[in-house]
Structure 1
């Protein structure tokens, strides 16, 4: 698709996952942003990314001899970035902080502009040090660099923007900057806000109210985040205390949730927000070229699908042996679980009843591979990592934990495992894109009916569901029982006794997911449902 008449979009995000060797991402939010820039490059969409060059990344998380996660922050050097010779300034804590702008366009992606405060002589040069590191003051400073600095960078680069897309709430101070600009030109606040909304769309991700970012007014004022607006004006936008998500809803003309189920959840969560934008549902997608094994994409309809899958499985087994010194068996059912180790994702649910799961592990009928990072400040998540590491010692030939989860491990597991396990507490998984990557490689999903999975799950045809969508307080017990029942009565018998059906399910999984859950489909939806209507409104307003 090559269309010069499409609206120009600036896609703001705190993180971008483009390559495992470019450590400016933490998890699904960043991978989504990176996939969007890659799909935009493939399809010719006029989208540019705006983010931060995190010099120390998210965290390099390794496991010590006691099984405890340890966080370290190397200083990364990226020689492949291009110097734009542009620097912007943002006043933070009363001091001008400079941010240099770098360009990344070397991973088959549309241009990504990254702000960097690591400049000699700069006050607070480590603002762009650690992604999601430190505490509230640093977070607000980072969001000021991204939002306020990002808008100023686009202006200095001479990039005209039709639509500003805020991926999650971190960039919303860009909206405050756009209002300030209009007010500086003589426009009253109400009119400036109204005109700014016509240019902004907003993606909300977190389906738990407590997980949405809130800042105190005192902190925002001290940091300089009011950026020329009054406290009363800021309160009208984000409330008091200041909710970043509420601000996103009130600064945008349209907002989207990231799956159909999440759309229902988000509308319930934010129905009390007056002057909110409409929330629609656009289900996430992933970049086929990055996540789908080319052998599978080209050959899944042929007679050798099993051999193609086994090639990927053998490669995974070999890589695990190199990393962990453990050689898994290629003829044993292998289940993968890799994602952020947030407690609601219940990484250890399969070990709820050890008496149930232990026999098949000891008998060599089942292999489990885990990988993931807990947030450096999430002590509960780190405890789960520790518990899973202990399982690798109890079942050394059947349970593996791959430390320091990254894109490389994600690709390997979503191609080489037989089954992809996903068991969050419903409805707390907004989307869950790892399952999409697995599905388009013929790795069958075994999943709670949460996120994207309810939209195309046909139990026993393209994967399996765990439970019936139950959301009660005792869901852990209910879901664990269902997991064991489906695993022992359907998944394992099919794998070991009915290869014909397993292959049919693999093909159906690939057919179901390859286009429906692709980033190119998602971008088509963004343009038709979010971007182009906004530009039509702008054009109509200009004629009035």
Structure 2
């Protein structure tokens, strides 16, 4: 792979990109993954570009109100570092032509990222690219038309030749229908031939391992929005079924598809086994960008076989200083500190550690344990906001040992995955597709303490580089079984090791970094993409 000129040029489509906390065009893990991939492609000089949307109001800034409930606010953002390409394309949405201006971003040592923007004076629908994942079905479809249809047209207008179109999740699926339509119109192919030729150049990554979490749309709404884009009801039915499943369409449009961890591949194959004509789903486990997420002091100490404890404690003090600044709480740098930062969703079970107060409360009250939480809920998700409110209430009940950091973003994520001692993850197995925050923690020597879900079954060596919760088997009362395992390991293994055996703890830190710094890196991920998904397309 040393001769990059012989590699296929890949256009990587994603609804969001997490490149930096100040560039607010991401919401969470999906976007962070996409940003890390573009950075790894830049580092290793792979011929890849990104296609996305310039969200003028971002996802949401989410804070806790006086009533203890989260509220959202949407600032208007502007970015002076973006390059004006001078290119604009049009997409017909709801019967009106919408102009999409194309910006270019290379500010963050990333492969070129092209971003479409409808926030223009001439557009009646200028706020289509206002809020990431904002509003409801109509606006979501409009946003996906801009990303997919507009994205393909933008690349053509920019004169960028593309060998492979990689759809990260189902949001860009309409790029596939645009490619089919153009072959039918420009080359005179019938639908089946155009579909067959198009799918030779498409790769699809599936994420959410819950059927209900995968997007569907009624055909009547797609027709009204103009999302058929010249195709017929019968043709769209062949791609996505009825109602139109974005994930099923992605699988039928792709030559190859991948899940984001080995366990997730098993789950995804079972989930989508009834989708006829679907691409085979292989496992390509996610990875994170070392340069963004690994503390340079930790990286240097690991490479030089030096002391890991001193740089870890320095990172921990920086985290605690930020907590003092934001929350006015003084935590103890010598007390075991567990971090938990996630999107607020019920299956992630953020409050599992509180399930048995008679066990956990004494640890919190008598200074044996500190817990730091952070996370956001979707603005329209009342259940998710209830989870955030519950975590905040716990911080009010135990103000000297439990902290909730508001408005979770990349900065908070970086501080937590460098400065905590332990990274907690306890989803309902097998509902965590990957869980990349644990990879970031691992390469900083922050020891994972997790259910065997997502990436962790591939990396975990219990008691060597972290700890597992449960053994991966099902139980009649899974909640109780997982809680019981969590408490047993915490009380019998984690706390005694931290408090009495620092040399073993640092050995585990070193083993964690050794396990993760290449195997779960974005550099390894992009290499795998080229060797397993892209390489034989040209």
What TM-score, normalized to structure 2? 0.99
Determine whether 1:451 maps to 2:459: no
Shift of 1:354: 1.3
**Which residue of structure 2 lines up, in the alignment, with residue 219 of structure 1?**
221
Give 2:139's aligned residue: 138
1:346 aligned partner = 349
Per the alignment, residue 467 of structure 2 pairs with 464
**Cα offset for 1:99?**
0.5
- Rounded to whole Å, the distance in 2 between the matches of 1:471 and 1:117 is 48
Q: Are residues 437 and 230 of structure 1, via their aligned partners in 2, closer, same or farther at CA, if it must alter by over 3 Å?
A: same
CA drift of 1:385 comes to 0.9
Q: Distance in 2 between matches of 1:164 and 1:99?
A: 20
| Partner SS for 1:114 | strand
Counterpart secondary structure, 1:87: strand
Give 1:473 deviation, angstroms: 5.8
**Per-residue displacement from partner, 1:419-476 (whole Å, max 9, x unpaired)?**
0000011000000000000000000000000000001201000000001113446211
Assess if the C-alpha contact under 8 Å between 1:427 and 1:471 holds in 2: no
Tell whether the 8 Å contact from 1:284 to 1:431 is kept in structure 2 after alignment: yes
**Structure 1 unaligned blocks of 5 or more:** 536-544
What corresponds to 1:528 in structure 2? Answer: 531
Map 1:48-197 onto structure 2 (within 5 A).
Answer: 48-185=49-186, 186-197=188-199
Aligned to 1:510: 513
Offset from partner CA, 1:382-405 (integer Å, 9 cap, x none): 111111111111111100000000
Match of 2:370 in 1: 367
- Which has the higher mean CA deviation after the structures are superposed, 40-49 or 378-387? 378-387
Match of 2:277 in 1: 275
Deviation (angstroms), 1:534 = 2.2
Q: CA deviation at 1:364?
A: 0.2
- Corresponding residue to 1:198 among 197, 200, 211: 200
**Contact 1:115–1:146 (CA<8 Å) still a contact in 2?**
yes
1:66 Cα offset (Å) = 2.0
- Aligned twin of 1:403: 406
Answer yes or no: is the 8 Å Cα contact 1:2–1:43 preserved in 2.
Answer: no
2:496 aligned partner: 493
SS state of the match for residue 126, structure 1? Answer: helix
Instruction: Give 1:380 deviation, angstroms.
Output: 1.1
Taking the aligned partners of 2:434 and 2:474, their CA distance within structure 1 comes to 17
Any gaps of 5 or more consecutive residues in structure 2? none
Q: Give how far 1:304 is off.
A: 2.0
Moved over 4 A (4+): none
Question: CA offsets per residue over residues 41-99 of structure 1, 9 Å max, x none?
Answer: 00000100000000000000000122110011111011111100100000001110000
SS in 1 for 2:236: helix
Question: What is the aligned partner in structure 2 of residue 231 from structure 1?
Answer: 233
1:425, 1:471 within 8 Å by CA — same for their partners in 2? no
Name the CA distance, whole Å, in 1 between partners of 2:280 and 2:395: 47
Q: Distance in 2 between matches of 1:375 and 1:405?
A: 12
Q: Please state whether the residue corresponding to 2:127 is helix, strand or coil.
A: coil
1:498 deviation in Å? 1.0
Aligned-residue Cα RMSD (Å) equals 0.8
Kept after mapping to 2: 8 A contact 1:52/1:146: yes
Distance, in Å, in 1 between the alignment partners of 2:80 and 2:346 is 37
Call closer, same or farther: CA 1:473–1:192 in 2, change over 3 Å: farther
Shift of 1:3: 1.2
Give how far 1:500 is off.
Answer: 1.3
Distance 1:303 1:60 in 2: 40
What's the counterpart of residue 293 of structure 1? 295
Q: CA deviation at 1:302?
A: 3.2
> How many angstroms does 1:477 deviate by?
1.3
Aligned-partner Cα distance in 2 for 1:473–1:72: 42
Equivalent in 254, 258, 261 of residue 259 of structure 1: 261
Whether 1:6 aligns to 2:7 is: yes
**Deviation at residue 303 of structure 1 after TM alignment:** 4.0
1:23 aligned residue: 24
Matched-pair contact (CA < 8 Å) for 1:515–1:521: yes
Q: What does 1:321-332 align with in structure 2 at a 5 Å threshold?
A: 321-332=324-335
Aligned to 2:379: 376
Is 2:88–2:101's contact at 8 Å kept on the other side of the alignment? yes
Normalising by structure 1, report the TM-score. 0.97
For residues 109-146 of structure 1, the C-alpha deviation after alignment (integer angstroms, 9 at most, x for no partner) is: 01000000000021210000000010000000000000
Residue aligned with 1:25, SS: coil
2:339 aligned residue (336, 340, 358): 336
Tell whether the 8 Å contact from 1:2 to 1:44 is kept in structure 2 after alignment: no
Alpha-carbon distance between aligned partners in 2 of 1:473 and 1:99, rounded to the nearest angstrom: 53
Contact 2:286 2:436 in 1 (8 A): yes
Asked if the contact 2:8–2:537 (Cα under 8 Å) also holds between the matched residues in 1, the reply is no
- Equivalent residues in 2 for 1:293-312 (5 A)? 293-300=295-302, 302-312=305-315
